[in-house]
Structure 1
Amino acid sequence: MSGEFERLRLRLRPRRGRPASPDGPVVVVGGGIAGLATAALLAREGRDVTLVEATEEVGGRAGSWSSGGFRFDTGPSWFLMPEVFDHFFRLCGTSSAEQLDLVRLDPGYRVYFENRSEPVDVRSDRAASTALFESLEPGAGAVLERYLDSARMTYDLALRRFLYTNFTSYPALVRREVVARAGTLLARLAQPLQSYVARRFRDRRIQQILGYPAVFLGSSPYLAPSIYHLMSHLDLADGVLYPRGGFTELIAAVRRVAEQQGVRIHTGTEAMALTVSDPGRDRPSVTGVRVRDRAGGERTLPAGLVVGAADLHHLETRWLPDHLRTYPQSYWDRRTPGPGALLVLLGVRGELPQLAHHTLLFTERWEEGFDAIFGDEPHIPDPASLYVCRPSATDTDPDAGIAPEGHENLFVLVPIPADPGSGRGGVNGAGDATIEAAADQAIAQIADWTGIPDLAERIVVRRTIAPADLEADLGAWRGTALGPAHTLAQSAFFRTRNVSRHVDGLFYAGASTIPGIGLPMCLISAELVLKHVRGDTGTAPVAEPGGGTVFSG
């Protein structure tokens, strides 16, 4: 651990500045939410911005697939940290209220525990969460109050001082509130989340509820630092929201805002290579991006600034010669990927009231499941702790396109090792045998645990997506569903940086880099590129039009 903190000290030592804003047009590579948001913010600055996306649709991991009257989100499905979304939209002259139809979920989610007949509904309300915990373990309600106080304090501090910084200025980080809590923060970076929770709560169900948010970070409660207990503020107190129409509508809103700022978006256009001035020099500058369109034609888009918002491993190892790579293959060989995922998209005939909008299934062999994913001998857990999203529980109008009348839309996520060798998925059972067998097991587990014995017989649409698909379709490093895991060595100050050390004018955004995994983090990563371009070394979010931010007070 001492080695990691020495790396932190070296990273934050004073350094000579670099040009704040390279001249010329901007090319953004990758049309996920990070690329769209970065393009929007830079265009808002008056820059000439072009975005290229290799696939036919924008969204990246937050994609969609339609079949038989169903429209499935194929990636993120939890809407947390609403203030981050609203801040982004306000920077672009609008708001979440104008762009999205958000509804608060009640319950926030439902949990089924192995070998327990009754599920637990989590209401995403502080008073209700306290009462729930007290009912599960006498005395746990008061302990949760203190736990959530700490989570809220840590979350607020993270928003003000750690999430919106590029970690380029030591003085900017040395604020009174940070120094006063430095000992506590460092201790929580060093302690795993699971042990932090277990010291406070004995009931296994509570431990699992508080530990599971580590999965949102592409990690496990046994690997994620306990500073991430801040996540419990989001799902137990702050509320779980849902954008009507699904996350397809969120991506559509961010695209709409980007185009309103003047961004030109070209889908079906693959970025083939970065072009630089005098590539033999130690520190060349970007000059453009060579692209190939859907018809096979190639051209070079000129650029004075390039933002790589696709998978960082893919960009660095495919685009750049060895001597210009900030993160060569040897770097990635030492990194821990987040979990892979088996995604099972199901269109089901009839209603499924046994499932909430969000439903979790937790196994008794909790630690063994995470060891199967992150351990020395990775394999698909059996049984696995599953997540099921039922957006048709909230989007009940058939005209919304989520599901036809009289049917339900299910998205099942089975965390598995990040290993493309596990195979590819397919439609209606056409994927590789290992993947389809694991999907069958997951469907049977949901049917058994939640009391839907005829679930398999009611399926009318089925598609599986596996790590090999994520690698092939999205360029995802090792087929990970989320990005590099949030372990100590890959969190906060230690996470992959967003500016090239060897090529002037080359920046990065997205889940591979700071501040990390998840849609809110990707929006923040876009703002961090904007701060680089402005030469802003501060830790606070960029001021919104008219001054202030949604985080004020």
Structure 2
Amino acid sequence: MTIRLPERMADVVSRRNAPAGAGGPRHVVVVGGGVAGLATAALLASRGHQVDLLEKNADLGGRVGSVERDGYRFDTGASWWLMPEVFEHFFELLGTTVAAELELTVLDPSYRVFFEGHPHPVDLRPDREHNRALFESIEPGAGDAFDAYLRSAEDTYDMALRRFLYTSFDSPGAFLHPDVLRRAPRLGRLLTRSLEKHVAASFRDNRLRQVLGYPAVFLGSSPDRTPSMYHLMSRLDLGDQVLYPQGGFTRLVEVLASLARRHGARLHTGTEVTRILTRSDARGRARVAGVEHTRADEGTSTVTADLVVGAADLHHLETALVDPEHRTHPEPAWKKRSPGPGAVLALLGVEGRLPQLPHHSLFFTADWAQNFGDIFGSRARVPDPASIYVCKPSETDPTVAPEGCENLFVLVPVPADPGIGHGGDDGGGSPAVEQAADRAIDQVAAWAGIPDLRDRIRVRRTIGPRDFETGYHAWRGGALGLEHTLRQSAFLRPGNASAKVDGLLYAGSTTVPGVGLPMCLISAELVLKRVTGDLSSLPVPPRTVP
């Protein structure tokens, strides 16, 4: 789906997005080779800039990683393909289409939900009428409420795409547009009421409340901490399709890297940036000069640059790479911020088939207040029992497991605390990580009716918060990025430009617009808009790319 621009704006935005001239930044260094970094490198290179991307790890992709062992291939990060129009638009900016680069499969069911205390799971499907009937069967009258809820979600989603997601909030235009002013009272209510309370106002049954509240987890938060503005997420999983790229989400990384190289970007792995270099301009203001980096085989080197884009974790960039006097976000500023949840991941290769599980499954405990309190509360601990997520990509993709076997990705949300420990192979991780994985495996076995699940596991690897901290410099070992509370959403989220160093920009899940693959792609586009001086709140119009 193409994101269309109103005709009255198209010409203005096109002029603003002409390639930077001789006075614009010509040599760009991108710090970090995750999805946001790769997307930024590809976009800027496609506009004629010389781009060097520096990634500290041996592989590109960041949190969207991959592990292979004994014929199994596991994605270690993102597993839901939502907001397809954002992907379509981004690929159009690079002169191609999603269909030309990837093979997407529609999942049916979209996902299955197992509820504690209820013997029968429910399936949500890419069929709005089915989902409406399901709601009505669980709670008489909920079908009409479902219709009203989705209408509101669609309207809010459309507003977000047109006014709030594709802007860095540098211009008041996003707030003064008639679309926004007309909806101001309603938007105020959606921002100041929690998603939990918003859902509870329309639905009584706890199961329906959980289905509608769970999207908060996609945002790195909980239903009681997330503004109800984000009920727009239900437009994606209940009113649209959930997709899967054949080959796994590592294919997206491969495609982004290929597109970046195709447009001339140079991608360097095993290259860790250790400092962002600055100089004083004629006015005595700090301006980016390049980066210092290390390679195992070369020692310390420097690369000069006119523009540096930090696409790694913002806390690490600001507190470790930028000199103290030039920090927009020094350490004290982080005391008022929340990293969202950590995660314990269990990657399991299972012998034999598991027909009890579709591609996506959610396991919800009855006491969510306790569950989310364990993760975000003042006395944080690993939840027991936990509400967990299980992905079985072998349901859809025959390349991720040996024939006749299954590939399981089990995610247990936990506090963002590296002290929980690291993972390992075959039970070799930290005790708290392995115990959380064991409990999750037993929970899936009991709730889904797979009594011999543990005995059939042939490959096991766990990943814990410490691995996120060491592997990706993730602040406090967080798995996603800054959570979407009111204080960390929209214009209140950390901006994507340094206030103290000219030419230092940011992309990724710790800046605007937020967490998730679509948001990372948009963050790259916001960097492009800054470089070209585009202050609109609209997406950049596609153009012919050489």
Q: In the alignment, which residue of structure 2 is the partner of 1:10? A: none
Structure 1 Cα separation of the partners of residues 72 and 464 of structure 2: 20
Q: In the alignment, which residue of structure 2 is the partner of 1:11? A: none
Contact 1:282-1:502 within 8 A present in 2 as well = no
Q: In the alignment, which residue of structure 1 is the partner of 2:524? A: 526
Cα shift at 1:328: 0.6
**What does the per-residue CA deviation read over 1:276-329, in whole Å, with 9 as the maximum and x for residues that have no partner?**
114999631111111112314221111000000000101111111222101011
Greater mean alpha carbon deviation, residues 129-138 or residues 22-31: 22-31
Percent identity between the aligned chains?
57
Structure 2 Cα separation of the partners of residues 114 and 344 of structure 1: 21
- Shift in CA distance, 301/445, structure 1 to aligned 2, threshold 3 Å: same
Is 2:426 the counterpart of 1:428?
yes
Contact 2:275-2:321 within 8 A present in 1 as well = yes
Q: In the alignment, which residue of structure 2 is the partner of 1:314? A: 316
Q: In the alignment, which residue of structure 2 is the partner of 1:187? A: 189
Q: In the alignment, which residue of structure 1 is the partner of 2:7? A: none
Cα shift at 1:24: 3.4
Is 2:76 the counterpart of 1:50?
no
Task: Give 1:145's match in structure 2, choosing from 129, 144, 147.
Answer: 147
Secondary structure of 1:133's counterpart equals: helix
Contact 1:26-1:48 within 8 A present in 2 as well = yes
Is 2:507 the counterpart of 1:504?
no
Secondary structure of 1:285's counterpart equals: strand
**What does the per-residue CA deviation read over 1:144-182, in whole Å, with 9 as the maximum and x for residues that have no partner?**
101000000000110011000010001343111111001
Cα shift at 1:129: 1.1
- Shift in CA distance, 420/315, structure 1 to aligned 2, threshold 3 Å: same
Secondary structure of 1:300's counterpart equals: strand
Q: In the alignment, which residue of structure 1 is the partner of 2:13? A: none
Contact 1:22-1:305 within 8 A present in 2 as well = no
Which one-letter code corresponds to 1:365 in the other structure? D
Structure 1 Cα separation of the partners of residues 55 and 544 of structure 2: 33
- Shift in CA distance, 281/316, structure 1 to aligned 2, threshold 3 Å: farther
Q: In the alignment, which residue of structure 1 is the partner of 2:240? A: 238
Q: In the alignment, which residue of structure 2 is the partner of 1:490? A: 488
Q: In the alignment, which residue of structure 2 is the partner of 1:9? A: none
Q: In the alignment, which residue of structure 1 is the partner of 2:290? A: 288
Matches within 5 A, 1:152-551: 152-278=154-280, 283-396=285-398, 400=399, 402-545=400-543
Structure 2 Cα separation of the partners of residues 207 and 282 of structure 1: 56
Q: In the alignment, which residue of structure 2 is the partner of 1:134? A: 136
Structure 2 Cα separation of the partners of residues 48 and 105 of structure 1: 40
> TM-score under structure 1 normalisation?
0.93
Structure 2: tracts of 5 or more residues without a match: 1-19
Secondary structure of 1:110's counterpart equals: strand
Contact 2:32-2:55 within 8 A present in 1 as well = yes
Structure 2 Cα separation of the partners of residues 31 and 338 of structure 1: 22
Task: Give 2:71's match in structure 1, choosing from 65, 69, 72.
Answer: 69
> TM-score under structure 2 normalisation?
0.94
Greater mean alpha carbon deviation, residues 315-324 or residues 493-502: 315-324
Which one-letter code corresponds to 2:382 in the other structure? I
Q: In the alignment, which residue of structure 2 is the partner of 1:550? A: none
Structure 1 Cα separation of the partners of residues 401 and 173 of structure 2: 53
Task: Give 2:115's match in structure 1, choosing from 105, 113, 128.
Answer: 113
Structure 2 Cα separation of the partners of residues 294 and 209 of structure 1: 48
Task: Give 1:28's match in structure 2, choosing from 30, 33, 47.
Answer: 30
Contact 2:164-2:174 within 8 A present in 1 as well = no
Structure 2 Cα separation of the partners of residues 56 and 333 of structure 1: 32
Structure 2 Cα separation of the partners of residues 68 and 163 of structure 1: 42
Greater mean alpha carbon deviation, residues 120-129 or residues 238-247: 120-129
Structure 2 Cα separation of the partners of residues 365 and 227 of structure 1: 24
Q: In the alignment, which residue of structure 1 is the partner of 2:3? A: none
Q: In the alignment, which residue of structure 1 is the partner of 2:11? A: none
Q: In the alignment, which residue of structure 2 is the partner of 1:16? A: none
Structure 2 Cα separation of the partners of residues 200 and 544 of structure 1: 40
Secondary structure of 1:72's counterpart equals: strand
Structure 2 Cα separation of the partners of residues 166 and 336 of structure 1: 21
Contact 1:22-1:505 within 8 A present in 2 as well = no
Is 2:96 the counterpart of 1:94?
yes
Task: Give 1:123's match in structure 2, choosing from 125, 128, 136.
Answer: 125
Structure 1: tracts of 5 or more residues without a match: 1-18, 548-553
Structure 1 Cα separation of the partners of residues 47 and 480 of structure 2: 30
Which one-letter code corresponds to 1:477 in the other structure? W
Cα shift at 1:125: 2.2
Structure 1 Cα separation of the partners of residues 260 and 25 of structure 2: 21
Secondary structure of 1:536's counterpart equals: coil
Secondary structure of 1:277's counterpart equals: strand
Structure 1 Cα separation of the partners of residues 74 and 525 of structure 2: 29
Structure 1 Cα separation of the partners of residues 539 and 367 of structure 2: 41
Structure 2 Cα separation of the partners of residues 433 and 320 of structure 1: 36
Structure 2 Cα separation of the partners of residues 439 and 161 of structure 1: 41
Secondary structure of 1:238's counterpart equals: coil
